[in-house]
Structure 1
Amino acid sequence: MNREPIKLVVVSAGLSTPSSSRLLGDRLAEAVRQSAADGGRPVEVRVVELRDLAVDVAHNLVAGFAGRTLAEAIEAVAQADGLIAVTPVFSASYSGLFKSFFDVFDNDALTGTPVLIAATGGTARHSLALEHALRPLFTYLRAVVVPTAVYAASEDWGGSGDPLIDTLPTRIARAAGELAGLLLARPPAPRAAAGAVVQFEQQLAALRPE
């Protein structure tokens, strides 16, 4: 049986501290870890907080070069065995920072990567953003998106203990089980590094005369 650790990356686009998007990402990652452990595989979790990369992402979009910190985050995502992507919903869609981060990737960087999509917002009215915005984005990037997407509105965090009302834990468990199932079904394989991401210093060195 394969005992190699599964590399799971959580991308959180939450802007506040603490962030409900980060909280949801952490709960999903823990549920995936537990489900994978039941299948005999440990999970190594890395969290990428896009809030800390906002300036680097903007510079990359303008200059076309990824700085060291952003390049490391891109490589971590591209090399992951699985991905949990969580964004707050603004104006019925993902945040601009979330979209800008994934705009940096080559179209084939996430090919075949199992992805669990999730979002947070103030009202359940925005839950459809998962299906009309996030799922098409990762389908375009050729990722394998699990069937269950998880949306957490403000009222989902104050559970009453009623299983007919408090469905967030159930949705988290179902989505995590689906992602863990995909991860357990295939061995970790080295993914193509985000080769298009070249350090700015290297770009400058290439322009210097011999």
Structure 2
Amino acid sequence: MATVLSLSGSPSVSSRTNRLLRHLDQRLAGQGHEVIPLDVRTVPAEALLGADFRHPAIVEATELVARADGVVVGTPVYKASYSGVLKALLDLLPQYALTGKTVLPLATGGTTAHVLAIDYALRPVLTSMGAAHVVPGWFTLDTDITVHDDGSLTVAPAANEALGRVLDQFSAALGPVSLPAAAGRAA
């Protein structure tokens, strides 16, 4: 079983990006991975903006990245790039924090004009941090994500299918999932 850090770079409590990531976390867990969610918005602003490498929240985030085999990085697109809070956290991680890790970049936004933000803004940073493999990412339109009154989420069928494919590629890149000994025995 691989350990996956699911990193939400949204600054908003009611973020579609965050809700989409948590929805995808369930799918990854269903594939046998241990998924650990981390919402950058929960990291104290003074630690991020003050570049306090020793702040307990920054130390914890660094440890979570180090522990993970793979990282899903989700961000809303603002001004044709990933969010500032995500950038602030990535800047505080060690230079090669992603060495040996498989990374899946995901983005959400209001227009397809922002599709290239993954490849031209986010991917170069992830690569510079030593990611062993950055799998093809996916951009999802805000209009393809519906949050219902009960908090549940629906993703438009075409977007849901595409997200399933990129999750499968990410999962395959992490390597085979080993089943617990009892689950692997013949009945």
After TM superposition, the score normalised by the length of structure 2 is 0.82
Structure 1 residues 174, 122: CA separation in 2 closer, same or farther (over 3 Å shift)?
Answer: same
Q: Which residue of 1 aligns with 2:70?
A: 82
- Once residues 125 and 166 of structure 1 are traced to their aligned partners in structure 2, the CA distance between those partners, rounded to angstroms, is 21
Question: In 2, Cα distance between the equivalents of 1:171 and 1:66?
Answer: 39
Following superposition, the deviation at residue 33 of structure 1 comes to 2.7
Q: Choose from 172, 177, 186 the match for 1:181.
A: 172
Name 2:181's counterpart in structure 1.
none
Q: Deviations over 1:121-155 (max 9, x none)?
A: 122211110110111111111211112x1212122
2:20 is equivalent to residue 24 of structure 1: yes
- Residue 185 of structure 1 deviates from its aligned partner by 4.4
Of the three residues 98, 120, 144, the one matched with 1:132 is 120
Deviations 1:77-109 (A, max 9, x none): 121011100111110001111111111122222
Which of residues 28, 35, 39 is equivalent to 1:45? 35
Residues in 2 aligned to 1:87 and 1:111: alpha-carbon distance in whole angstroms: 21
Percent identity between matched residues is: 32
Report which structure shows greater RCO (CA 8 Å, sep ≥6): 1
1:145 equivalent in structure 2: 134
Residues in 2 aligned to 1:114 and 1:186: alpha-carbon distance in whole angstroms: 15
User: Which protein shows a greater Rg?
Assistant: 1
CA RMSD of aligned residues (A): 2.0
User: Normalising by the residue count of structure 1, what TM-score does the alignment of the two structures yield?
Assistant: 0.73
Structure-to-structure mapping, 1:1-210, within 5 angstroms: 5-34=1-30, 36=31, 42-53=32-43, 54-59=45-50, 61=51, 64-143=52-131, 144-147=133-136, 149-158=137-146, 166-185=157-176
5+ residue gaps, structure 1:
37-41, 159-164, 188-210
Asked whether the equivalents of residues 27 and 172 of structure 1 are also in contact (C-alpha less than 8 Å), the reply is no
CA distance in 1, matches of 2:40, 2:11: 8
Whether the 8 Å CA contact 2:53–2:92 is kept in 1: the answer is: no
Distance 1:117 1:152 in 2: 11
Give distance in 2, aligned partners of 1:106 and 1:69. Answer: 14
Secondary structure of 2:116's partner? Answer: helix
2:139 alignment partner, SS class: strand
SS in 1 for 2:115: helix
Question: Once the 2 structures are TM-superposed, how far is the Cα of residue 27 of structure 1 from its aligned partner?
Answer: 2.5
What secondary structure sits across from 2:34 in the alignment? strand
Q: 2:60 aligns to what SS in structure 1?
A: helix
Any runs of at least 4 consecutive aligned residues in structure 1 with deviations exceeding 6 A, and if so which? Answer: none
Cα separation, 1, equivalents of 2:157 and 2:70: 27
Q: How many residues align?
A: 168
Counterpart of 1:192 in structure 2 is: none
AA matched with 2:167:
A
Contact 1:117 1:135 in 2 (8 A): yes
